Copies of this chain bind each other. A is one copy, B any other.
Amino acid sequence: MLLHLSTWQEVEAYLQQSRGIIFPIGSTEQHGPTGLIGTDAICAEAIARGVGEATQAIVGPTINVGMALHHTAFPGSISLRPSTMILVLRDYITCLAKAGFTKFYFINGHGGNIATLKAAFSEIYAHLEDIQIPNAQRVQCQVGNWFMCGSVYKLAKELYGDQEGSHATPSEVAVTQFVYPEAIKQAPLSEEVATGHRIYGAADFRQKYPDGRMGSNPALATPEHGKQLYELAVKELSNGYLEFLNAD
């Protein structure tokens, strides 16, 4: 059930049976010469919708732009500041918590979002306590990173070994190929690829990772891999969501 394709009366009815909502959260950032700028949002959205179907959960609109400041020296990348992203998440959750939602599950496609998501959750619990909404103490947030699912990680390693890398990975590219086969890109990829540098500011990142990839070989990706990875992620995160929903 997609929030955007529902009416408020359907949401009202939904709240009679569940207090949970899933938000896909991605990023708008370079993913190397062949990866889509929307990769993280595309993966998160597709998987979140799969999880929504599997668990009868409502799925909110995709948060397309996340925390990707370190990618912004590449054109087309867009990022929220962490402090802005905290406010955005606070506003989302405040609205929905007032309406009765208490379980917020973020299906995340971007490693760079994790720290800010966690910081935001802490800020939000305190905020809800301060504005004294009735169910403030019951509000819970959790992140489910599809690319960190055990099953996904295992398959990615089998398929790609060390060439999985850590950004613009063949596994995330594969999922986007599965979702948008019409947008599969071809571009020359140098055999050597930068790897192992820590992440600091945007200019530094581009200098160290000149084509945007971090140790990955996205040329290995196929739509079929993407389908497999997608299905594993949906299955594992569906379990994750239900466990979260049903926990105290």
* B-binding residues in A (CB < 8 A): 2-12, 15, 28, 30-38, 41-42, 60-65, 67, 69-70, 72, 74-84, 86-88, 90-92, 95-96, 98-100, 112, 114-123, 125-126, 128-132, 136-142, 180, 183, 185, 187, 197-198, 200-204, 212, 247-248
Contacts and interface: CB of A to CB of B under 8 A. Distances in A.
A41 B61 contact: yes
A84 B9 CA distance: 28
Contacts of A61: 28, 38, 41, 62, 64-65, 78
Contact of A72 (B78, B95, B248): B95
Contacts of A77: 8, 95, 99
A207 to B, nearest CB: 8
A4 B201 contact: no
A4 B63 CA distance: 13
A117 B114 CA distance: 12
A183 B84 contact: no
Nearest to A33: B9
20 contacts: A4-B37, A7-B31, A7-B32, A8-B76, A11-B37, A12-B75, A28-B61, A38-B61, A61-B64, A61-B65, A65-B88, A72-B126, A75-B100, A81-B122, A116-B119, A121-B200, A125-B204, A126-B201, A131-B132, A137-B201
Contacts of A70: 122, 125
Contacts of A31: 7-8
